[in-house]
Each structure stands twice: as structure tokens, then as C-alpha cells.
A and B are shown apart, each in its own frame.
Chain A
């Protein structure tokens, strides 16, 4: 069913043409998808449970923001800069903590993210403190496409970056390196036994995941022209974790489904009832976990099986 692969991308394009006033929400969704995809690499495949992935998102956002303010407003240059720098940051922190496992590792990721957030709060000269980083002015993309108020350029730009990273992830996961990550997740001991340099693989995966998250953060900074402390917060780390699990880890499009559903439901619920949307979202999450194994992406499995069953029956 190769054609099915085109579906999410066609849907994304359809949104571009159809959803006039909603494009900025759409861009938000795309950025969250990219972020969740990065988490899937680290958590879903490599088994690194992290409560602090927002550290990379925010790091990339502030990097891109500062690049635009102090160096040049070109979006692609800023994106490359932020991605590379965040990747290095990921490698460094990964090297520091990835010899630990389980809850200890989780707490360490949280500690690092929290320290970074505190630093950002203090370093006004770099981040604007709790007022946020302002004065980001973006030059037109590729010299031609201006970032307009309605968000057309922003949406297509984000979609392209997402597609590029998706292709990279796809290749990486199918490579021997990527397969070894799954092995490490399932049994580090076994991988050690066959001579895999486990720690090095984990650090590499963590670094790649950080770079991807940094790209997402950079997109956020460039498309909203603003970076706030919330890009580093625990709440964002928790949100992307929830979004990924919701959609289903280690699923080709789990991140897509989860991030879309979470962001859209949260927005719709908050709009319909600004006072009670938490109740709706919470109940939805609980219901999905209790009644749907494997996250939302497994709905696709169920549908596929039902269709196949019907065809076979005919």
C-alpha cells in the first residue's frame, strides 16, 4: 500500500490550500510533529526515556533567534546554525549522562533541562529573560518568499523541513546503525555481548535527535518571530511526550497523528470552553490509553485489517 504513504503529505498540502485562517495553527502542528519525531528517535527507538527534550527545542529556538538578530536574517542559514549547534549540545549532554539508565537517566535529562531553563531566565542579554527574545526579523526565504502575516511561507517552509527530516530519519532507521538502536532498546546486554559500542550509538542517536529537535525550535523562532522561556519548559517536554505516546511510538506516522490530534484538540477545546478544556483533553487521553492499545496509529492497523478482512471475505 505504497500510496498510503502519500496520504499525510497530501493532507498537509490540502490544509495549505483549504485552511485560510488556520495556517499558523497548521505550522504549529508541523513543528510539533517534527519535535515528536525527534523524540521518537531517542525514546521510541533508542529507548532513552527523557523528560527534558524541550531543552533541545528551546536551545535551537534561542540559537536561531539570536542568529537572526545578530548575524543575518536568512532563514536557512539560521536553521543550519541552530540545528548544528543543538546537535553538538545533544552530543555533549548525552556523553555526560547516557551511561545511566531508567529513572536515573530520566531525572538527569530533567535536571539538565531545568538548569538550562534557569540559565535562560537569568541570561537576559542572550534570551531576553522572561520577556522573551524580541526583535527577530526574518529575511525572505531563498531571497524571494516573504514571511507574511497569514503564514503561507511559514507553513510551506516548515512542511519542507519536516519532509527533509522525515526522509533522513527513515534512512537512518533502516540503516545498520538504526537497527542497532532497536536492539539496544530491547536488550543492551545482548548488544554489548555481540560487540556493539552501545554507549557511542546512544550518544550519536541522542545527538541526532537533539539536532532534529533544534530544527523544530528554530522553525518556531523563525515563524513566530519570538522565543519565550516556555520553549525550554517541563510542560513542553511533557506535552511532546504525551503527543508521541498518543500517536504511537516506533510508528512511521505515529508522531504525525499524535501531534496533530493533541494540538488540534487542545486548541479546539480551549476555544470552545476556555475554562474547561483540560477536563476534555485529560478524559480523552485516559480513554485512548484504556481502550486503544498502541496509540492512535494502531487505529490505522485496525482499519487496514478490517479492509483486508473484508477483501479476503469477498
Chain B
């Protein structure tokens, strides 16, 4: 009755290798966990688009080994559900890799699970600094919030912004954004007048932004989850603060896919991010072209699209080098030394932290051919995650 994990796993593997056809046993299965329904469904949709574009460009097999992607809905920031989904993928579907994972709580919830199960897990999004420390089997190909929040603080301090108010959504990533923006901004000589935290459920941002108006800073830094809060924040800024000359600074809030919802009010907003849709390199051009061809001319690549695309790249490289049934520790050892070109620019994994090191771009919203887009005006090459530097290996 109380069999150990390893005995059960051995039995299962034995059974599956005997019962299954040779070809079936050789398939590499990737379990992608993301929200596919509910208010965060956009993440799942974009992951899928990125994955399908990758597979169109590079085929659905590596050296004859078929690659199968299994999608599972974790519905949003729901650690209990994430854990259950991960368990099912590991124990029932017997995947070789886990991918996806949008929200930090979900990543944290499965950390001890993937360690116990020795499951290489490629994080396609979850962006808090501490995540890769929580399990030696995490590899992150996306970004960390400190990584993109610090540059905008640095830039602002150097470019005429003396005072700032930060207004962030009241959740983990919001605090990260507030902390690292403020730190970099203050290091550059700037002054933070006030730090406002707004409940995630806020529909009407006007009272908070009236406070900002009262403080009269040179600029406002915002951080929000995607969706209604972010659109609400920018619209409120545009109608109240922009006329008063208060600039807006942010990170992911002006991604091109969201600009039409904000409208021309977004013109001139400066942000820092690791993926700008208009970045000029062949991989990005190919991504756009394939995306349009497969999903219609209204499809726009977003961070989720590119991050999933790169996640697949990493897994394909691992399978290509190590085969279909590589040991997890070998996979991680291989992946921590990865370096390749992505549609976002060059990127590599830091061998110590298993986290992504990449360009961070400073960009401005402009109008091109009647469309609102982000255009890079400065590139900060190969930035690591500052959180890891501030918090040397504590676990």
C-alpha cells in the first residue's frame, strides 16, 4: 500500500514501455499549463500561437522524435489548481517537460512537486525574482519584473524627471515593480513623492490619480496586471494627468496588442521592456509573417507569444542534443548553458541562476502607418535579473 514514489514510477515506466508501440514510447510530451479560459485566457491563446508558429517553422519532431504538446487549463492565479494540473501532467500524462506557467503563485505552488518528480520545467512567463531559486528544475525564458522595472527608473532619472509618484496594483508583481523602479530612480538622484497601492478589483482609478495630480510629480510610474485595470489606469492618466504635463512611465502596459484599446492618448509614453514588437531582426520578421499567415492579419505577437516560442526553442535544443528520454539532471545541466537568438533579440540563460539574461529596450509609443506601435530608442544589452544580485543565494 505505501509504495514509494520511485517504485511506482519504475513500474509505470516499465508498463508503458512494454505495452506501448516503439514509436509511442519515443514521443516527447510537453505539458503546457496556462489559463485558457476565464479572464486570463489571452495568455493561453498566445502561448499556443507561439508554439504553433515554432512548430510550423521547425516541424513537430526533432531528429525523428515526435514532439507532442498537451495543453492544460490552470484558469489563472490559482495555486491549488496549478498543483493539481501539474500532478496530472506528471503522473498521468507522463510528460517529459513542463512548460507554460503564467503566474508566480502557480510557479511557487509546483516547486516542491517538480523537485520531487525531477521534472524539467521551462517557465514561459511567471516573473518574480525568487522563482528559479525554489527548485533546481526551473529554467526561465521569459523575464523578471525587476529586470524591466529598473531600466525605466534609471532612464527617467537621467532624462529630466526629478520627481515621481508610483501607483501600482496591490499584488506581488506590483510591489516588485514599485521596489525596483524606485530603487533605480532614487539611485539616479530622483525623488519618489508617494507610493500608492491600488486594489486589484479597482474599476475606477480616478480617486488615486487625483492624488497624483495633487502631488504634482514630473512623472507617474504605473504597474498593473494586463486587462481592464491597465487600460483603466492609462485612460485615467490620459484624461487627467497628461493635460497637466505629468508623464507616464511603465513596462508592459503599452504592449502593441493593447494600444488600440487606449488610443492616441498613449502617444509619447515611454516604457522599458524586453520585447518590442517592432524590433528589427529576421526572427521577429518571420514570427510576424507566420503569425499573420496562420492566425489572420489582426494577430499581434505579444510577450507571451515570443516567450512560448523561445521556450519551445529551448526544449527542442535539449531533445536534439539529449534525445527523448534524457535524465532530468542532464537536461537542466544542458539548458543552463543555453544561448540563442530570439525574435526579441539575443538571449541566454545564466548558469548560476537558471534565469534569462537579455536585452532590455527603452521605447516610445509612436504612430506608424496609422497604427500605434512601440519604437525602440535605446537598447540596454544583456541585462541580468537585479533581484538575484540583491539577494545572493539565500536558499
A148→B105 contact, CB < 8 A: no
Cβ of A220 within 8 Å of any chain B Cβ, yes or no, is: yes
A152: chain B residues within 8 A (beta carbon): 1-2
B96 to chain A, nearest CB (A): 17
The reply to whether B84 and A28 form a contact with Cβ atoms under 8 Å apart is: yes
Q: B170 in the interface, Cβ–Cβ < 8 Å?
A: yes
- B91 near A130 (CB under 8 angstroms)? no
Residues in B neighbouring A118, C-beta threshold 8 A:
199
Residues from chain A with a CB closer than 8 A to the CB of B104 are 130-131
**Residue pair B88, A21 in contact (C-beta under 8 Å):** yes
Within 8 A of B (CB), among A201-257: 220, 224-226, 228-231
State in angstroms the CA–CA spacing of A135 and B38 once bound together: 29
Selected contact of A121 from candidates B80, B117, B170, CB within 8 Å: B170
Chain A 126-180 interface residues, beta-carbon cutoff 8 Å to B: 129-132, 134, 145-146, 148-150, 152
> How many Å from the CB of B24 to the closest CB on chain A?
18
Q: Which of B69-77, B141-149, B233-241, B284-292 is the interface stretch?
A: B69-77
Which A residue sits closest to B134, measured CB to CB?
A: A134
Cβ-defined partner of A274 (8 Å) among B73, B83, B113: B73
- A292 to B104 Cα, complex, angstroms: 42
- A contacts with B, residue count (CB < 8 A): 34
The contact of B84 among A25, A132, A229, A275, by CB within 8 Å, is A25
Number of interface residues of B (CB under 8 A): 40
Of all chain B residues, which has the CB nearest A122?
Answer: B170
- Chain B residue contacts of A271, Cβ below 8 A: 72, 88
User: Cβ of B108 < 8 Å from any Cβ of A?
Assistant: yes
- B105 and A24 form a contact (CB under 8 A): no
Determine which residue in A25, A134, A225 has the highest number of CB atoms from chain B within 10 A of its CB, and name it.
A134
Q: In the complex, what residue of chain A is closest to B44 when comparing beta carbons?
A: A274
With both chains docked as a complex, state the minimum distance between the C-beta of A48 and any C-beta of chain B, in angstroms.
25
Which residue of A21, A231, A277, A278 is within 8 Å of B80 (Cβ)?
Answer: A231
Whether B73 contacts A220 by the Cβ 8 Å rule is no
CA distance A277 to B112 in the complex (A): 29
Check B37 against A131 for contact (C-beta < 8 Å).
Answer: no
Check if B171 sits within 8 Å of A121, measured CB to CB.
Answer: yes
Known: A132-B108, A277-B37. A22 touches B2 (CB 8 A): no
Interface check A264, CB cutoff 8 A: no
User: Given A25-B84, A275-B37, A277-B37, is A148 in contact with B78 using a C-beta cutoff of 8 Å?
Assistant: no
Binary interface profile of B, 103-132, with partner A (CB < 8 Å = 1, else 0)? Answer: 011001100110011000000000010000
Determine if B37 and A228 form an interchain contact, defined as CB atoms under 8 angstroms apart: no
Residue among B2, B5, B83, B172 making CB contact with A226, cutoff 8 Å: B83
Look across to chain A and name the residue whose beta carbon is closest to the beta carbon of B79. Answer: A228
Known interface pairs A121-B171, A149-B5, A150-B5. Does A275 touch B116 (Cβ–Cβ under 8 Å)? no
Contacts of B5 in A (CB 8 A): 148-150
Say which residue of A21, A149, A229 sits within 8 Å of B92 (CB atoms). A21
B8 within 8 A of A: yes
7 contacts between A and B (CB under 8 A): A21-B91, A131-B108, A132-B79, A148-B5, A225-B112, A226-B109, A277-B73
20 additional contacts (CB under 8 A) given A228-B80, A275-B36: A21-B91, A24-B84, A25-B84, A25-B88, A28-B84, A129-B171, A129-B172, A130-B77, A130-B105, A130-B171, A131-B108, A148-B2, A149-B87, A150-B91, A224-B84, A225-B112, A228-B78, A231-B80, A274-B36, A274-B44
Residues of B within 8 A of A (CB): 1-5, 8, 36-38, 41, 44, 71-73, 75, 77-81, 83-84, 87-88, 91-92, 104-105, 108-109, 112-113, 116-117, 128, 170-172, 199-200
